[in-house]
Amino acid sequence: MAGANSSAEMAGRTVAITGGARGLGFATAELFASRGARVGLIDVDRDALNDAVVRLTDFGADAVGIVGDIRRRVGAHACFGEACARLGHVDVLINNAGVYPRKPILEIDDDDWDRTFDVNLRGMFHMTVAAALHMKPRRAGQIVSVASIDAYIPYAKNAHYAASKAGVISFTKSFAEELAPFGILVNAVSPSAIDTDQLRRLGMYDDLARNSPLGRVAEASDIAEVICFLASERNRHITGETVIASGGALMY
């Protein structure tokens, strides 16, 4: 397991992660678990979720899988409620679930728009509301959402994706402002491209690596480390911020 020799800085803490079955979500779950956290993985893909939980528990992690669709309030709140029931409570929410569509702006239709915003922004909103209602009485909690540097930089064929991630950044500020009096820290991370199967299928890896100041595309574990810090008890005074983790691709 990644980070298996790390300290148990997350011992006793419980973490719910949307889109936790693969990619950045799974890498984040793996890192939290390696540092002692109990993790609840939320995903729509039952088979991938079951496999992810098995992979974690085989390494001794305390992990549960929650199958559900967070695109609407009822589903999102049900997923969060199940996470609370199975973990006892939730200290940390990671809003990671997302889709990365590719289509020229003049070809984006209502279905493309709705699917992108439903997953990337509406789901994030509903999950954060559910977490806030749970965390407010406890007067503690941390919420970290995954945005993207695409929110700042226009790229061909992903205007709806970029707009949805800009919305994540805006909501992060609004939630942080309203939840600060209750001791709840709300932040986001804007990564550049992450080395995933989808990225390689799109044939974008080589160009992105060549154009990066660091000469490589981020690994999922690189971004998971940033998320883990923001969600850890080491972070005591950062809220309403979006940390750009781009390897120098965006120096903002």
**Sign of the dihedral defined by the CA atoms of residues 237, 4, 209, 203, in that order:** negative
Following DSSP, what letter does each residue of 127-148 receive, concatenated? HHHHHHHHHGGGT-EEEEEE--
Structure tokens at 236: 């005591």
Element spanning 65, H or E: strand 63-67
Q: What number of residues does the chain have?
A: 252
Structure tokens at 40: 């609840």
CA distance from start to end of the chain: 33
Distance CA 25, CA 85 (A): 21
Distance CA 8, CA 145 (A): 23
Active site residue 155: no
Which one is catalytic: 100, 155, 161, 205? 161
Q: What is residue 244's three-state secondary structure?
A: strand
The owner of tokens 């929410």 is 93
Give catalytic residues, as residue numbers. Answer: 161
